Amino acid sequence: MKNQQAIQIAEGIYCVGAIDKDAPRFHGYHVSHGVTFNAYLVRGTDGKYTLIDTVHRDKTDELLGRIASVTEPKNITALIINHTEPDHSGAVPAILQTAKPVVYATVAAAKFLQAMYGTENVQTVKSGDTREIGGRTYSFLATPMVHWPDNMVTYLPNEKILFSNDAFGQHFATNQPLDTQNNINTALTEAQHYFANIVMPYRAQAAKAVDAALSLPLDMIAPSHGVVWTKNIDRIGKLYQSLCTGESVAATLVFDSLWGGTAERAQEACDELRKTYEKITVFDLRTDHMSDVMAALAASKHLCIGSPTYNGYPTPRIGTLVAEVEALRPPVTEYSLFGTFAWGGGASKHLTQKLDALGLQKTFDLTRA
Ligand code: FEO
C-alpha cells in the first residue's frame, strides 16, 4: 500500500505530489534515483486551499490521496499552474472534476491548458502580478523557456518561499522532501543531470530567470521535481548560475567500440587531452548512459569523440551522441576525434562535417587504420 500522506514543509504548506522510486526513465532518458512530481497544497487563513501544480496523469490517485490526508478536495479553491507539460498538468482534469478552483496561469499556459484539456476561464497572470488568495499573498514571475514558453514561478513573499517548477529540480525520489534530510551531493549531482537534459538548450533565457528568482529573499525553494532547497539555496543557486553561463575548463571523452580497437585508443586520446585539461570525464557508450554524458557536457569546454567506422559512418550510438549535442547544445566549443577503421574509413569525415557545422573547433584527430 503506497504511502499517501501529505508532508508538511512549512506552516500550512504540504507536499502532495507523487514519488516513483523505480522510474527508470523520464522525458525519454535514463534516471538513476527515480522521479518525483511535486505538487504543493497551501492552506489560506480562510481555511481554503491553493494547489500549486499537479502531477502526471498516471499519478493522479496518489495526488488525490495525499490531498485527502489534509482536506477534502472540494476545499481547493485555487489552482496555480506554473507549467503545462504533462508531468505537472496531467491531473488538472481530475482536480477540476473534484473541485471548482479558480485556475491561475500565464497567457501561454492558458492556451496550452485549453488545447490539452479544454480548460476554460483561466485567470491569466504576468510577471510582477500579485494576487491575494485565501489570505496569503502570491507573486508571479514569468520564466519563459525554463522549460517551455509557458513557464512561471510562484512566490510567497511573506513566507519567502519560491515554487520554482522545473528550475532547480532534480530526479531524486525521496519520502523526505527537504535537502537537509538527504545526501546533498547526490541532490546537486542530480540537479546538474536534470539541467543538462531539460534546461540546457535554453540556458541563455534561464540565466535571466534564475538571476531574477535568486534576487528574491528566499528561505525555501520548492521545485516540482526532487528535494526542497532550504539550507543549500546558495549551493543550488551557484550551480545553476555556473551552468547557465557555461564557462568551463573541463573535457569529456566519449567513445564507442565494435571490436575493442577504438576503446584501446581512448588512453592515447586522454593523454593528448591531458596536455590542456586537468579534468577529463570518460564515457564508454557500450555501457554508460547518454544522459550521464550530457550531464558532464553541461560543464565541459571540450568534447572528444572516439568512433570506429561502421559501414562508412560513425556508429549509431555516436550518431545519437551528435544528435543529442545538436539538440541540447552543451557549452562545448572544441572537439577532437580518435578511432579505427579497417578498409574504408568515413567516421572521422562525417563527424568533422557535422561538428564543424555546429561551430565547434577541431583540435586534433587521432583516427587511423
Ligand atoms: Fe517537469 Fe518541463 O516539466
Mean pLDDT, 10 residues at a time, the chain of 369 residues: 84 96 79 91 96 96 96 96 97 95 98 96 96 97 90 97 95 93 96 94 90 95 97 96 90 97 97 96 97 96 97 96 97 97 91 98 96
Supply φ then ψ for residue 49, to 5 degrees: -125, 145
For residues 193 and 211, give the distance between their C-alpha atoms in angstroms, rounded to a whole number: 20
The rounded distance, in Å, linking the Cα atoms of 250 and 29 is 24
Is residue 157 classed exposed, middle or buried when 0-12, 13-18 and 19+ CB atoms within 10 A define those classes? middle
27 among known catalytic residues:
yes
For the CA of 37, the closest atom of ligand 1 is 1
Cell, residue 134: 485565501
Task: Name the active-site residue from 40, 104, 194, 202.
Answer: 194
Q: What is the reported pLDDT for 128?
A: 94
- Phi, psi (5° rounding) for residue 16? -130, 20
Task: In whole angstroms, give the CA distance from residue 223 to residue 38.
Answer: 7
224 lines ligand 1 (CB under 6 A): yes
In this structure, are residues 139 and 129 in contact, taking their beta carbons and an 8 Å threshold? Answer: yes
How many other CB atoms are there within 10 angstroms of residue 202's CB atom? 20
pLDDT value for 247: 84
What's the CA gap between 143 and 152, in Å, rounded? Answer: 5
Summarised one tens digit per residue, pLDDT across range 251-272 is 999 999 999 999 999 999 999 9
For residues 109 and 150, the answer to whether their CB atoms sit within 8 Å is yes
Any ligand 1 atom below 6 A from CB of 190: no
Report d(CA 120, CA 106) in Å as an integer.
13
CA 182 centroid distance within chain: 19
Contact between residue 55 and residue 67 where contact means Cβ atoms under 8 Å apart: no
Burial letters for 236-267: b for 16+ Cβ neighbours within 10 Å, e otherwise?
bbebbeebbebebebbbbbbbbeeeebbebbe
Residue 146 backbone phi and psi in degrees, to 5: -120, 55
Amino acid 294 reads M
CA of 128 to the centre of ligand 1 (A): 22
Task: List the catalytic residue out of 33, 56, 147, 171.
Answer: 147
pTM over 0.75: yes
Cα(168) to centroid(ligand 1), Å: 11
pLDDT of 3 reads: 65
In this prediction, residue 30 carries a pLDDT of 82
- Give me the pLDDT at residue 29, please: 76
Residue 256's identity, in one-letter code, is D
What was the pLDDT predicted at 1? 46
pLDDT score for 177: 95
Is 225 catalytic? The answer is yes
Report the chain's terminal Cα–Cα distance, integer Å.
59
Quote the pLDDT of residue 146. 86
